[in-house]
């Protein structure tokens, strides 16, 4: 499994616009079949600073997604509505549970 994390700060006056754009990206099209999880968090002590996190089944699926227009549009919206702090991909190892 592989993860994508994008940390960014949105201008306070653009907060509602960003949240609407993120929600449209998340729900506007069919769910990505190879995306395991998609989450958006706001930092408690830094208003309008968000962490966008996704988990994908493979690096190939994530690469394909990052080349799609909807991903590029959301990244462009972040550049217009605020500032990206960092973006990174992470390899994620799953642990087996004894149930």
Read off the pLDDT of residues 2-44 as tens digits, 9 standing for 90 and up.
999 999 999 999 999 999 988 887 765 555 778 888 999 999 9
42-67 tens-digit pLDDT:
999 999 999 999 999 999 999 998 99
| Whether 26 contacts 97, CB under 8 Å | no
Q: Domain extents for the chain?
A: 2-91
pTM of the entire predicted model: 0.84
Interatomic CA distance for residues 90 and 99, integer angstroms: 27
Burial of 39 (0-12, 13-18, 19+ CB in 10 A): exposed
Burial of 66 (0-12, 13-18, 19+ CB in 10 A): middle
Q: What is the CA radius of gyration of the chain?
A: 14
* DSSP tag of 92: -
Assess if CATH 3.30.70.100 describes domain 2-91: yes
């Amino acid at each position: 499994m592989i993860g994508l994390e994008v940390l960014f700060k949105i201008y306070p006056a653009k907060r509602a616009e960003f949240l609407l754009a993120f929600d449209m990206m998340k729900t506007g099209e069919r769910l990505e079949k190879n995306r395991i999880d998609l989450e958006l968090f706001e930092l408690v002590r830094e208003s309008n600073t968000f962490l966008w996190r996704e988990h994908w089944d493979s690096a190939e699926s994530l690469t394909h997604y990052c080349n799609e227009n909807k991903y590029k549009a959301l990244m462009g919206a972040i550049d217009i509505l605020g500032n990206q702090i960092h973006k990174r991909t992470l390899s994620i190892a799953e642990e087996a549970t004894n149930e």
